[in-house]
Amino acid sequence: MTAVDYSKLFRLDARTVVVIGGGSGIGRESAQALAAHGAHVVVADLKIEGADETVQLIAEAGGSAESFQLNVLDDAEVEAAAERFGTASALVFTAATNVRKRMEDYTLDEFDRVVNLNMRSSFQLIRHFGKRFAANGGGSIIGFASIRAQVVEPGQGVYAATKAGLVQLAKTAAAEFGPQGVRVNVVAPGVVETPLTAQIKANPEWYDAYAKKSAFGRWSRPEELAGAVVYLASDASSFVTGSTLMVDGGWTAIDGRFTPPAS
């Protein structure tokens, strides 16, 4: 048996990783972390200016990256991107949106907007990149779900449904592409300080209630998701597929917000 060099378990040297949504937030931090571990990162985003800024940050740190404009709602663009970058070793996608409304108040236009970005585009990315990775001997696909795939609250119905759907898509893709060496997993954050949660952060009572739900008494920061991405993109997770990696500060593990007396 060949000895494993564990010092290189998380290294991504000579590999290309595509990060969709890499122009800001969790995607930007993930892109920087992947580059720091040796990957050449394709920073893809609808807003090319944000992608360019991420590339600049990576370059300033001595890493390798390129920017790429991509609209994940355009099927032809997604298929072309998969063809162009199909020899990459990993795909990471973070793009999502939310409309916080109770179901009775939702419009079908709002429903379509959330489902199309969160669910339909995920389906397209997974199947097109999965097919290309499979043809090239394997790869890792990493999507971003949420605690809302498991636990919900009023006003989160459609968003939660799309994230639960992504979890099941990942499991199915893991089964279908696994024989060709393709791994498919999702990261499930708790509440992260990103533009998507700005509405909550602006309300002190709401913000504090969410902070108390974490075992650490605070929200997570985007950079705290980057380690999970590096792990799932690297050989450190070579036998991990069809899984949901919770990075939620204990949100889904802890029962309630009250600490009872021990005796």
Cα-based distances in Å from 77 to 46, 89, 237: 11, 20, 30
Residues whose CB is less than 8 angstroms from the CB of residue 85 and which lie 6 or more positions away in sequence, other chains included? 16, 18, 42, 91, 129, 132
Given the residues 159, 207, 210, 231, the one annotated as active site: 159
Residue whose token pair is 């209630």: 209
Q: Are 156 and 197 in contact (CB under 8 A)?
A: no
- Tell me whether residue 207 is one of the annotated catalytic residues: no
What residues form DSSP beta bridges with 69? 45
Residue 144: closest CA among 96, 100, 191, 177: 96
- d(C-alpha 205, C-alpha 70), whole Å: 37
Instruction: Decide: helix, strand or coil at residue 2.
Output: coil
CA atoms of 27 and 225, how far apart (whole Å) = 9
Q: Which residues are catalytic?
A: 159
